[in-house]
Amino acid sequence: MTRQRKRIHLAWAEQEGELMRKISDIEPDFPTQVSVEPTPDRRRWLALVVLLVAGFMDLLDVTIVNVALPTIQRDLDAPYADLEWVVSGYLLGFAALLITGGRLGDLFGRKTILLVGLTLFTVASLACGIAAGPTWLIAARVVQGATAGLMIPQILAIMQVSFPIAERGKVLGIWGGVLGSASVAGLIVGGILVQADLFGWAWRPIFLVNVPVGMLAIPAAMMLVRQSRSATADRLDPIGTVLAIGAVLLLVYPLTEGRALGWPVWSFGLMAASALVLAVFVIFERHRIATVGSPLVVLDLFRARTFAAGMVVWLLFWIALGGYFLVWTLYLQAGLGWTPLRAGLSASPFAVAAAAGAATSVQVFVPRYGRMVMFAGALINAAGFGMYLYLAAHYGSGITSAQMFAPLAISGFGFGLYVAPAVDLILSGVSAHDAGSASGQLSTIQQVGMALGVALAGVCFFTQLDQTSAQGTTAAIPALQQQLTDLDIPASAQEQILTQFRACVHDRSAATDPTAIPASCQPSAGQPSAEPLQQALTRAGLQANAHNMSHSFAQTLWWAIGILVAVAAGVFALPKRLSAVDDLVNVRSRVQG
């Protein structure tokens, strides 16, 4: 080695050591062995494509089914309660296996569990696509969600251990873009497939499309993804696994089903039991660490301020976004009466802007501004929601896709700015042998946050819809009254019709099953039943519903904005680790270059 090269390496060692000391002063739990990294796999970028495809398949299936529910109901003659289970069954299976799936990857190899999950996910998608009845479809959806719970932690963990720290920000930025775009892409792809009615299969292609994709991804993953596992986790934790799955299910199930069942007392009892089981789980894991070792969840991860605080703000963020996606879908389809295809295509600005925000945040903004990028992302997302709130309230049922473009693009860009550096920050201090466990916990927190958001937004949205239904009838009655007069209906009969119309709109707004027709909406005895009258009542009902939905959507956005502001404030509880790591990477790049 030449003297010049020795001087360069000595300079690098001195600068790296100084930076490590500074980082340790800021965050004592930060791993100072950051400079020791395995040799990067030459095929890692090709492997990343496979990982992104697998992740996209899962995220797509979370939302793609929503636009096909009416078609599924008609084809399978399914009651509305079964339709809710088609959606919630996937989420329950997914949430139950996330933490366990992450640890299984640590134990048996992340590539191995990824392949198992990908194979079973493909088979479960086939089972969904050929389902002969609602029970079959629900069971296949639960399995599909559970196998996705095996896949997702492996994807994040493999990214962590396959890419050197200098490239990890770019990789997680790409993943953040996929995270944002896949959620709304489900609406777009689902709308296109349902409306195209390929081969006369109606809704079935939304599941069957996963089969050829999975058959291509499985051999590609076998060839391109490198095996990795934890060096310390050497045995299963069956009791911890049962306790973890139990705690998640006891929380997610009542949140998913509570509103439709009228929030019975037992739903709150299950949520309280969830907290109790979680406490027992923590006690057991501490005991296992002290005696046997190899715990399901590495509790020491939460001693690091970055990981613990990052998990809290990550939870809050997904509470806001999970609730938003629910009420937004209801607003466009059930409120404005848009087709699944039109509603899905209207999501395009959000998806494109989210991908752009995620791609630029880690690579362009984080090296300069650190955690302030997350702060700005949360506030920009909130600003987009605020603009949307104003436009929905101002234009009501007359709002157009073009008028939605700006608020969707702004909120999507803020979403992307926040998500990518958040994932990077939370996982950056996690050692390679705990990557699977940490990734599983991160994904579980995201799913629990979305479930909480759906539950809270559902309560807020439908309560608002019920309480303000009179505003919709007030807006629709003048035109309806004029039409009744044009049909030569006597004044006494008009008053009876208008009274029944008000009751019908109110009962529709208060219903938990939107497919059921309340008794108040049936023609009463002695009421004229001519076709022109029924058409006038239908038009007025749609107008009143659109008005109420627009108002409820706007009001519900207020709490989402409030949570995002809290997320922005919570960013300051995080250490400035991203800046320190970026400095280290920049020094290394200059010296090695």
pLDDT-derived band at 527, boundaries 50, 70, 90: low
- What pLDDT, on the 0 to 100 scale, is given for residue 220? 94
Q: Round to whole Å and give the CA distance between 500 and 372.
A: 55
Q: In this prediction, what percent of the chain has a pLDDT beyond 90?
A: 22
Lowest model confidence (mean pLDDT) among 5-9, 78-82, 227-231, 367-371? 5-9
Q: Round to whole Å and give the CA distance between 262 and 172.
A: 41
Please tell me which of 94-98, 182-186, 285-289, 294-298 the model is most confident about, judged by mean pLDDT.
Answer: 285-289
- What pLDDT, on the 0 to 100 scale, is given for residue 208? 93
pLDDT-derived band at 429, boundaries 50, 70, 90: low
Under a CB-based contact definition with an 8 Å cutoff, are residues 584 and 37 in contact?
no
Under a CB-based contact definition with an 8 Å cutoff, are residues 399 and 336 in contact?
yes
Under a CB-based contact definition with an 8 Å cutoff, are residues 376 and 366 in contact?
no
Q: Which two tokens stand for residue 190?
A: 């689902």
Lowest model confidence (mean pLDDT) among 25-39, 175-189, 241-255, 516-530? 25-39
In b/e form, how buried is each residue of 325-354, taking b as 16+ CB within 10 angstroms? bbbbbbbbbebbebebbebbbbbbbbbbbb
In terms of C-beta density within 10 A (0-12 exposed, 13-18 middle, 19 or more buried), how is residue 287 classed?
Answer: exposed
Q: Which two tokens stand for residue 152?
A: 């997702």
pLDDT exceeds cutoff 70 at 9: no
pLDDT exceeds cutoff 70 at 497: yes
Backbone angles phi, psi at 163, to 5 degrees: -115, 135
Q: Round to whole Å and give the CA distance between 120 and 105.
A: 16
The residue that leads in pLDDT, 558 or 423, is: 558
pLDDT exceeds cutoff 90 at 452: no
pLDDT-derived band at 524, boundaries 50, 70, 90: low
Question: Architecture of domain 298-593 in CATH?
Answer: Up-down Bundle (1.20)
**pLDDT tens-digit readout, 316-349:** 999 998 888 878 878 887 788 888 778 878 888 9
User: Does the 40-234 domain belong in CATH 1.20.1250.20?
Assistant: yes
Reported as half-sphere exposure (CB side, CA atoms, 13 A), residue 274 has a value of 18
**pLDDT tens-digit readout, 455-467:** 788 778 888 887 8
**pLDDT tens-digit readout, 556-579:** 899 999 999 999 999 888 766 554
pLDDT-derived band at 525, boundaries 50, 70, 90: low
Q: Round to whole Å and give the CA distance between 106 and 67.
A: 37
**pLDDT tens-digit readout, 148-197:** 989 988 888 888 788 887 787 778 777 777 766 776 777 788 888 888 88
pLDDT-derived band at 293, boundaries 50, 70, 90: confident
Q: Round to whole Å and give the CA distance between 66 and 160.
A: 32
146 three-state secondary structure? helix
pLDDT exceeds cutoff 50 at 300: yes
Full-model pTM: 0.78
